[in-house]
Amino acid sequence: MPLPKTRLKLTVNALAVLRKRYLKKNERGETIETPEKMFLRVARAVAAADAIYDPKADVKKTEDIFYRMMTSLLFMPNSPTLMNAGRRLGQLAACFVLPVEDSIDSIFEAIKQTAIIHKSGGGTGFSFSRIRPANDVVRTTQGVSSGPVSFMTVFDIATETIKQGGTRRGANMGMLRVDHPDIEQFINAKQMTDKLNNFNISVAITAEFMQALAKGEEYDLINPRNGHKVRSVPAVQIFNQIVEAAWANGEPGIIFLDRINRDNPTPQLGEIEATNPCGEQPLLPYEACNLGSINLSRFVKAGKVDYAGLKKIIHQAVHFLDNVIDINKYPLPQIESMSKANRKIGLGVMGFADMLIQLNIPYNSKDAVKTAEAIMSFISRESKLAAANLAEKRGNFPNYKGSIYDNPKTPLMRNATTTTIAPTGTISIIAGCSSGVEPLFAVSFVRRVMDGSELLEVHPYFKEEAKKAGILTKELMEDVTKNGSIQGIPKIPDSLKKVYVTAMDISPEWHIRLQAAFQKYTDNAVSKTINFPPAASIEDVHKAYLLAYEQGLKGLTIYRYGSRKGQVLSFKKDREKKEIVPRPRPMRTTGITERMRTGCGNLYITINSDEKGICEVFAQIGKAGGCAASQIEAIGRLISLALRSGLKVEAIIRQLSGIRCPSPIWDQGKMILSCPDAVARAIANVTNVTVSLHDKTMGACPDCGGSLESEGGCLVCRSCGFSRCD
């Protein structure tokens, strides 16, 4: 069948991402699908659901509509739908929530179900709040409980083990109520530890806690096993720990639990306790949600928002997402049952920053807030009308009775929720627009391509404006690329500086106010990162958390730039190097040798010091000779050179830790991922340096070496499309 006539314009980045992660490949890894054929595959598979409700439906017409809205880059479904629709796997949902009860059977059933979901390409969210606290009684064994944080590490290891064919990586959200007795251990679970690297974590904050915080009072910690009070603690003590941990490395985030349940569309089914990995999708146990985003950058005409065009695409997108629920091949029967009973969809946006630029509106302005409210209120209203129209033809969602819609004002509703603002990760790269509701990450940056070369990427709108202003030169663009921002460059007019603001140019207050503007008209939640400069204080983060609550947010993720140790900064000026001359090797050293078990055999690591501290490392594998031995020798030489060049021990440990080989092994209760990982651990042991081993830092992309951006709790590379949890 011939392809519909639509001119598909994709950027170099978009093509690279599609080839690597979305297009079909044969057994030799060769791409056998074009982008046009991919979109046709998806459109055809999703349109087929029309025949379920009307055997005489014009499925071909629906297929053409769906194909054109994707190839025109007006709308993109979430990644699993693009990857799997019309293919054997057929799993199209992005996120799931699984229940975790206070029993070994429930915990390990959830781990098994997690593995199945991750294998299918989905992310998972959990509340561990029902698990009894550490050291609590276990009557069946006469022992004591290890607590929720301990069990989270088992989920983490299972996630690390499951691989997803290089397209999507398993991601988890772990949540714990603020009134759980183990809350302090949970808050600090990702500080100075080598665990939970496959988790985002968030504290589920209650209204009672916020009231106690406002009044300077204590609140009760409750044992979930029996509902008894364990002790009372000052709310400010716990709040300060949350703030300090987030300031240190961006975690934990916070979720305002009572606010989420205030908007729970089906309270008759129970309370919502958890969200998906990026926090924007609160879900009941065994619910799934399929998401899609409208590209707002395509809806500006003659300097105004094209509401007529936007209305049309909203109705088409709701139709598309509702169809996805019916054709999806769910990983578990419980998930299929709940998903079809509530039929939640999450229509969101991307390209908002690009839209503001076209409207000549600064992101950090009252006009931007008004625009956000106007756009999202329109999407909310029209998506509800679209869901009502579908309900007239297809019926209400089965759990309608007892839901918030069960009243004379809303007699028809096809979907329990219709709107969600998700991090758009790779789909915004495909659409060639800014990500989600985030501001620009940079006006210009260096993109690393697969052959190792570097290309200068300039925001197309800015390039055109600079050309019109007669200031577009190679030297100017080099200055912009060094900074990522244009604010400190004298040659650039103030009119451009006002509009082309980046994430780091915008104060946290404006980040929060924009998130609140979208949240006001969003059924579910809004995924967004609140950026802080490196010099931001703990008090700055403290104020932001309180502002988030005051502004009506359902959750908050913050990131202080550079706070994750070992971060490779993203702009050229951060990578400029000074000439360093290593000091000579000392004549006399003292040291020790530590044996570490690895998958390659016993590794003997000698660490020597002189009066200036650690200065050299030697390592020898139990097996003599061979490639492994030569590589280990090379590692030792390079470490020694780095140490004598003044590089900090902490930096070396972080670079080596987390490197994985095909044969990880347990040694003295710790997972040794590889020989380099063992060397890192040995150096940490000998020097008493406390670092976060296996820290998956925001920094260099593991696939292409490009810069990673923090987006709503997710790490995204806009060079190659790598995403930890898109």
Q: Three-state SS string across 277-300, please?
A: CCCCCEECCCCEEEEEEEEHHHCE
DSSP-assigned beta bridge partners for residue 457 = 445
Q: Given the structure tokens 């054997």, which residue do they identify? A: 88
- Percent of the chain whose predicted confidence (pLDDT) is above 70: 88
DSSP state of 608: E
- Model pLDDT, residue 577: 46
Helices (H), 591-715: 626-644, 649-656, 675-687
Q: Given the structure tokens 């300090």, which residue do they identify? A: 244
Alpha-carbon distances, residue 328 vs 25, 46, 88, 279, 414 (angstroms): 22, 9, 11, 22, 17
Q: What is the mean pLDDT of residues 63-92?
A: 96
303 has pLDDT over 70 = yes
**pLDDT tens per residue across span 624-677:** 556 777 888 888 888 888 888 877 787 788 778 777 666 677 777 677 878 888
Q: Could you tell me if 331 and 120 are in contact, meaning their C-beta atoms sit under 8 angstroms apart? A: yes
Omega prior to 252 cis, within 30 of 0: yes
Give the lowest-confidence range in 46-55, 86-95, 151-160, 658-667: 658-667
Q: Could you tell me if 293 and 76 are in contact, meaning their C-beta atoms sit under 8 angstroms apart? A: yes
Size (the chain), residues: 726
CA dist 9 and 460 (Å) reads 14
Structure-token pair, residue 89: 């796997």
Q: Could you tell me if 53 and 65 are in contact, meaning their C-beta atoms sit under 8 angstroms apart? A: no
DSSP-assigned beta bridge partners for residue 598 = 601
- Percent of the chain whose predicted confidence (pLDDT) is above 90: 60
**pLDDT tens per residue across span 219-240:** 999 999 999 999 999 999 999 9
DSSP per position, 78-132: -HHHHHHTTSSS-----EEE----SSHHHHHHHHHHHHHHHHTT-EEEEE-TTSP
Q: What is the mean pLDDT of residues 594-598?
A: 85
Q: Could you tell me if 38 and 18 are in contact, meaning their C-beta atoms sit under 8 angstroms apart? A: yes
Across 538-574, b (16+ Cβ under 10 Å) vs e yields eebbbebbebbbebebbbbbbbbbbbbbbbeebbbee
Instruction: Give CA 91 to chain center in angstroms.
Output: 20
- Model pLDDT, residue 164: 45
- Model pLDDT, residue 454: 61
CA dist 145 and 140 (Å) reads 11
Range of 45-59, 190-204, 635-649 with top mean pLDDT? 45-59
Which residues are tagged catalytic?
Answer: 276, 278, 280
Nearest of 66, 77, 175, 79 to residue 120 by alpha carbon: 79
Q: Could you tell me if 549 and 515 are in contact, meaning their C-beta atoms sit under 8 angstroms apart? A: no
Q: How sure is the predictor about 706, in pLDDT bands with cuts at 50, 70 and 90?
A: low
- Model pLDDT, residue 450: 46
CA dist 402 and 30 (Å) reads 52
- Model pLDDT, residue 569: 33
141 has pLDDT over 80 = no
CA dist 227 and 526 (Å) reads 32
**pLDDT tens per residue across span 423-458:** 998 899 999 999 999 999 889 877 655 445 566 678
- Model pLDDT, residue 563: 75
Give the lowest-confidence range in 46-60, 241-255, 426-440, 477-491: 477-491
- Model pLDDT, residue 495: 94
- Model pLDDT, residue 397: 98
CA dist 196 and 674 (Å) reads 18
356 has pLDDT over 50 = yes
695 has pLDDT over 60 = no
Q: How sure is the predictor about 567, in pLDDT bands with cuts at 50, 70 and 90?
A: very low
CA dist 122 and 644 (Å) reads 46
CA dist 656 and 677 (Å) reads 6
Structure-token pair, residue 341: 């009973």
- Model pLDDT, residue 697: 40
Higher-pLDDT residue of 575, 372: 372
Alpha-carbon distances, residue 127 vs 284, 286, 342, 545 (angstroms): 10, 12, 20, 21
Higher-pLDDT residue of 124, 581: 124
344 has pLDDT over 50 = yes
- Model pLDDT, residue 247: 93
Range of 460-469, 566-575, 654-663 with top mean pLDDT? 460-469
Q: Is 648 helix (H, G, I), strand (E, B) or coil?
A: coil
Range of 25-34, 241-250, 345-354, 661-670 with top mean pLDDT? 345-354
Q: How sure is the predictor about 692, in pLDDT bands with cuts at 50, 70 and 90?
A: very low
**pLDDT tens per residue across span 273-292:** 999 999 999 999 999 989 99
CA dist 502 and 363 (Å) reads 9
Give the lowest-confidence range in 300-304, 612-616, 690-694: 690-694
User: Rounded to 5 degrees, what are φ and ψ at 117?
Assistant: -65, -45
Q: What is the mean pLDDT of residues 366-391?
A: 98
CA dist 408 and 396 (Å) reads 14
